[in-house]
Amino acid sequence: MARLELSAAQAAVLDGQAHTARALWNLLHEYFTFRQGRFASLKECDEAIRAARREIDWMAQLPAQAVLKTYRQAWANFFNPDHPAQRPTFKARLRSRPAVDIPQARDLQIKRVNRRWDAVSVPKLGRIRFRWTKDLPGLTKGGPAGRITGARLVKDAFGWQIVFRTQTMAAPVPDAPPGPAVGIDRGITVALALSDGTMRQHGPWLRDGEREHLRRLEEKSARQRRTRHRGGQASHRLARTYDKIARLRATAKRRALDWQHQTTTELARTFGIVVVEDLTITNMVRSATGTVAGPGVNVAQKTGLNRSIAGQAWGRTVTLLEYKTIDRGGHVVKVPARGTSQTCHQCGHRDPAARDGIRFSCADPTCGWTGHADTNAAINIRNAAGTVVSGRGDLVAARSAKRQPPRAA
């Protein structure tokens, strides 16, 4: 992802194209699904788009076939049992991410301007400079082998970015794992505790001044919301405050993702087998508010815990580890999480009271091992490698049964 250098007029054109793409997606979804007993075929969708382009002026603002291709790929991902994609649905204006596709690589015409900037051709905008951040396959001398197949323009809190679709040559996979096995315990006080006794930690994602600025902005937005009429449109001042809050939160997310990438790359290079707990994170961060009939307890503490768990992004850490270890000939093993933090790795004695914060003291008088609780859990996780994760095969089978391909048109 690279930042585009756009003028206000060019950004407005891209905003219009993104809204057009979203509207066309919604029209396609309605045409594709709201039919009598069957989905529309690709040919029918293509003919409907061509007819609409002759009657509706705003549909000529972008390549409509690119939206159709993306929409059909979304359905293909949904019917693939190995893909985590959800069922395609309508895109809301305020909750969807603005994006514009450039399907053909020949339209890009990428050229180097200097050591910091490159230039790319964007349809209906002309030549646009973008920030050079990494070597592109097939363009950089001495860079990775491959080619660029297209691009996607995406808008985030920092403005419009460009993401290139690339096709690279697969590197040969080693026959044997490159390193030893390691167990990793994911936590909050310690981000990653390894079974070899080492730890991978990070500081706050925002500096003290940035956190104070974010707090003031959130208080300011609360004051501005109190003067807003219910159901009315947000004021420009409130929208600007929301934009500032979004930029600070996006900064924190980028720093977290950068730390995760660097840490998981180092772990994938060092260890051949990485063992982690099979956590159901969505259940762990479930709200404790309860109902009117049965209100929850310690709601404020549980809310803070949920926020801390979400800030660590445990699922994303495992996702990064999986593809990086596979590329290097290793693999990630998931084991049941039950009892790993309450069991002594030396003697196997299990006692919930043995853990006190970050300290673990075995309650068995014949053992008496003491040490860091997260390191003890990481060793138990590593020793559990080979244990079957209960229910995983049944879940995959049930998910596959629900995703039957549509009946042919």
Q: What is the mean pLDDT of the chain?
A: 85
CA distance 253 to 261: 12
pTM of the model: 0.81
CA distance 306 to 312: 10
Give strand pairing partners of 121. 127
CA distance 238 to 60: 33
The residue ranking higher by pLDDT, 372 or 37, is: 372
Average pLDDT over residues 82-93: 88
- Does 398 have pLDDT greater than 60? no
pLDDT digits (tens, 9 = 90+) for 311-350: 888 999 999 999 999 888 888 999 998 888 889 998 889 8
Q: Tell me how far CA of residue 179 lies from CA of 60, 183, 226, 266, 333, in angstroms.
A: 55, 13, 58, 12, 15
What's the confidence (pLDDT) of residue 409? 39
CA distance 408 to 390: 36
pLDDT tier for residue 174 given thresholds of 50, 70 and 90: low
* Least confident among 101-110, 164-173, 178-187, 188-197: 164-173
Average pLDDT over residues 9-35: 88
* Least confident among 101-110, 180-189, 242-251, 293-302: 293-302
pLDDT tier for residue 35 given thresholds of 50, 70 and 90: low
CA distance 350 to 148: 55
Going across the sheet that includes 273-277, the strands are 199-200, 192-194, 181-186, 273-277, 331-335
Cα 240–Cα 242–Cα 246 angle in degrees, nearest 5: 115
Going across the sheet that includes 355-356, the strands are 355-356, 359-361, 370-372
Q: Which residues of 340-376 are buried (b: 16+ CB within 10 A; e: fewer)?
A: bbbbbbeeebeeeebbeeeebbbeeeeeeeebbbbbb
Give strand pairing partners of 199. 193
pLDDT tier for residue 10 given thresholds of 50, 70 and 90: very high
Grouping H, G, I as helix, E, B as strand and the rest as coil, residue 101 is: strand
